[in-house]
Amino acid sequence: MMGDVASSSARITGWGAALPEKVVTNADLEATLDTSDEWIVERTGIRERRIGGSTTGLAIEAGRRALDQAGVPGADVDLVILCTCTPDETMPASSAAVQQGLGIAGGAMDLNAACSGFVYGLVAADGFLRSGLGRVLLIGAETMSRIVDWEDRGTAILFGDGAGAVVLEGGGGPGRVLGWDLGSDGSLRHILHADAGGTIQMDGPEVFRRAVRIMVESAERALQGAGCSVDDIALFVPHQANARIIASACSKLGISAERTANNLALVGNTSAASIPLALVGAADAGRLAAGDLVLVVGFGAGMSWASAVVEWAT
Ligand code: COA
């Protein structure tokens, strides 16, 4: 499904991130798995990941930073959307704890589209703002370490924990979601899944084969919806799953590494937290200015995919 929402306005006015303190390096994994730092770096680009905490704890920390930066008290937020596939409880939605923790006056809901979750949430938030809400706090937060089989070297090396958040405000001014693309192919559920209460099962090479094409096609549809070309994009923020997937998508899209956010080496694949963590890192590093166009592209279990072109507001 492709969208052209040029008339909408979802300005990112604050952003924040949170990572657990505990660092797990590839050398640490060598101690328990038949693997090596060299293999992991060469095949994935990952050097270390952060492990620990709870999804709601990380979400509250990242959300508080985003609200502080925007100068928005929780009481002025109409809705918190927590994008996660690792909620702390099945019921209620983990966003309920975030709502309480941040003193948010409005509603709270979880959104699960696996690693595509944050971009799905961005498009959903944009829709809520267009239909009259004033402010949405959008958070991607995961504790993937809780659903990883630490004896499976095919997956244990990839995932990490963390959270990233943005405050989205409606009304006028610069900053908009210019175009987007959302999709899912449920016939591919089996190549990446975790049963309720179970651990992640993945056909890595199959996911790899499909990921690049999915990302490129989805990105192109979002660009088309936004009415712009790849040359107009100041920063590409792809889902951080594998450095080779990112490099291949960049080359097929015609985007240089200099215009691409990449924090994979330090955090691994943090699923729905991956894109906001990379976005927040780039913004904090001064890589974004008002009016810049940002292309965010997620893909993951489902298989699901989601892309959006966002005009940076501040
Ligand atoms: N350390 C050392 N060797 C490993 C290993 C590890 N951590 N994991 C797998 N291997 C071995 C395999 O057993 C296999 O050995 P064999 O040739 O003797 O059978 C060999 O390395 C190649 O395995 P393969 O799975 O084909 O490797 P790969 O190059 O595809 O890399 C992934 C594996 C998981 C890194 C890669 O497939 C990948 O990143 N896929 C995408 C996953 C992804 O992005 N998932 C999240 C989506 S949101």
The confidence band for 314, taking pLDDT boundaries of 50, 70 and 90, is: confident
- pLDDT tens profile 112-123: 999 999 999 999
Instruction: Give pLDDT, residue 6.
Output: 40
112 is catalytic: no
- Distance, in Å, from the CA atom of 143 to the CA atom of 146, rounded to the nearest integer, reads 6
Q: Which tens digits make up the pLDDT trace of 154-176?
A: 999 999 999 999 999 998 778 89
Answer yes or no: is the C-beta of 134 below 6 A from any ligand 1 atom.
no
Query: Would you kindly state where each structural domain of the chain is located, as residue ranges?
Result: 7-169, 176-311
Would you say how long the chain is, in residues?
Answer: 314
Other CB atoms within 10 A of residue 153 CB: 16
Q: Which atom of ligand 1 is nearest to the CA of 244?
A: 39
Q: Ligand 1 centre from 239 Cα, in Å?
A: 18
Fold entry, domain 176-311: Peroxisomal Thiolase; Chain A, domain 1 (3.40.47)
pLDDT over 50 (residue 4): no
Do 7-169 and 176-311 show the same overall fold?
A: yes
Domain 7-169: what homologous superfamily? Thiolase/Chalcone synthase (3.40.47.10)
Q: What is the pLDDT of residue 261?
A: 98
Single-letter amino acid code for the residue at 213: R
Q: Is the pLDDT of residue 8 over 80?
A: no
Note the pLDDT of residue 173. 73
With a 6 Å cutoff on the Cβ, whether 204 touches ligand 1 is: yes
Percent of the chain with pLDDT over 70: 97
pLDDT for the residue 5 = 46
pLDDT for residue 164: 98
Per-residue pLDDT of 17-64, as tens digits, reads 999 999 999 999 999 999 999 999 999 999 999 999 999 999 999 999
- Residues paired with residue 68 on neighbouring β-strands, in sequence order: none
Please answer whether residues 213 and 245 qualify as being in contact, where contact means their C-beta atoms are separated by less than 8 angstroms: no
According to the model, what pLDDT value does residue 309 have?
Answer: 98
Average pLDDT over residues 125-138: 95
Cβ distance 45 to 278 under 8 Å? no
Whether the Cβ atoms of residue 108 and residue 95 lie closer than 8 Å to each other: yes
Compute the distance from residue 144 Cα to the ligand 1 centre, in Å: 18
Question: What pLDDT shows up at residue 171?
Answer: 80
List Cα–Cα distances, 40 to 34, 48, 154, 238, 268, in angstroms.
11, 10, 10, 20, 11
Averaged confidence pLDDT in the chain:
96
Tell me which of 43, 189, 199, 209 to substitute to probe ligand 1's pocket, judged by most ligand atoms within 8 Å of the beta carbon.
Answer: 43
Q: Is the pLDDT of residue 208 over 80?
A: yes
